[in-house]
Amino acid sequence: MLKYILKRLGLALLIIVGVSVLIYMLSMLMPSDYIDNQTSAAVQNGSMTLDDVQRLKELYGLADKSFKGITTSYLKWLKSTLSGDLGFSFLYGKPVTKVLGEYIWISFFIAFFSYILEIIIGIPMGIKAAVNQYSTYDYTVSVFAMMGTSLPSFFLSALLMNIFALKLKIFPLQGLVTATKVFVADAHLAVLADKAWHLVLPITVLTLLGIGGVMKFTRTNMLEVLNSDYIRTARAKGLSEHTVTYKHAFRNTMIPLVTSLSGMLPGLFGGAMITESVFAIPGIGYMALRATQQGDIPFIMGYNMFLAILTVAGMLLSDLMYMVVDPRVKLS
């Protein structure tokens, strides 16, 4: 097992380095960078010249976009990254690690509660649909699952905002806190409750979009297991349908479920760019979208490398979890 883990760690290191090279090259080759976006208006009105812009690009390390220049700047970035320094964000005026630390937890709580609700609701729905295959319940939940997975997040967000925020006025429209409310210095619970109330609609959107996928995946794997010979044998022995379904069938369904849920780790910290943007939630996804639009290369690199590391860690964790859900699996 130790040999297997070391091999996977070595492969993970190669993947992360390869991803960093690809992301850095794509970021440097964008049509416009941070300096172009910030100085375009000044160049047009004549307050800055192209020579001024070029000097700023040299100052920020964005001047030389040849293969040699990109390679040199990438090696400098890699050296500083290995020392724990992800660089300084052009857009936010702070170290990238500080920006990540400040805004990532909002996205984490939104994604965490969404994942919990998806699992709690989606898996039992999938099991019941598989047990009652071709029933009215099976067709109904399958249709709603397809509708949920097909809806764009911005459309569902706008729909819920229109119904529950604008018409019914139950939930706030956008933002993380109510701008018209004034909280006293020690009203921590009131501030927390206000933020939680603002996050209900974003969490609902992500949950509705994810339930369908979890339900369909669970249903498909349960149907495959329920048609196995050992399930028919268990029923022939006189075991109850509840025991057959949950003790024998569902336990063997958990292996593919663990695989699908291994992507949870980067999803928890990656943020939901579109949903956070629609609801104006200052999560890490919204901050990353703004940085990408402005060509903030240090933040783009730090954010994407953070997600790459989490993705590789999630894959390794899912491999190790196989032995927990199925003792027959031996890693070598």
Could you give all domains of the chain from N- to C-terminal order, each with its CATH number?
104-295 (1.10.3720.10)
Residue 263's CB is within 10 A of a number of other CB atoms, namely 15
pTM of the complete model = 0.83
pLDDT of residue 324: 65
Residue pair 323/329 in contact by the 8 Å Cβ criterion: yes
d(CA 240, CA 120): 24
pLDDT, residue 329, reads 59
Phi, psi of 63 (to 5 degrees): -80, -50
**What is the pLDDT tens value at each position of the chain, 332 positions in all?**
677 778 878 888 898 899 899 988 888 888 778 888 888 888 888 888 888 888 888 877 787 888 888 888 899 888 988 888 888 998 898 999 999 999 999 999 999 999 899 989 999 999 999 999 899 999 999 998 888 888 889 999 999 999 999 999 999 998 888 877 777 666 778 888 888 999 999 999 999 998 988 899 889 889 988 888 888 888 888 888 888 888 888 877 777 776 666 667 777 788 788 899 999 999 999 999 999 888 888 899 999 988 888 888 887 777 777 666 666 655 55
d(CA 261, CA 259): 5
pLDDT of residue 238: 86
Bridge partners, residue 95, by sequence: 88
pLDDT at 170: 93
What's the token pair of residue 79? 């050296």
Residue with tokens 């933020």: 195
Q: How far apart are CA 261 and CA 123, in angstroms?
A: 12
Q: Residue count of the chain, please give it.
A: 332
DSSP 245: I
Predicted local confidence at residue 157, as pLDDT = 93
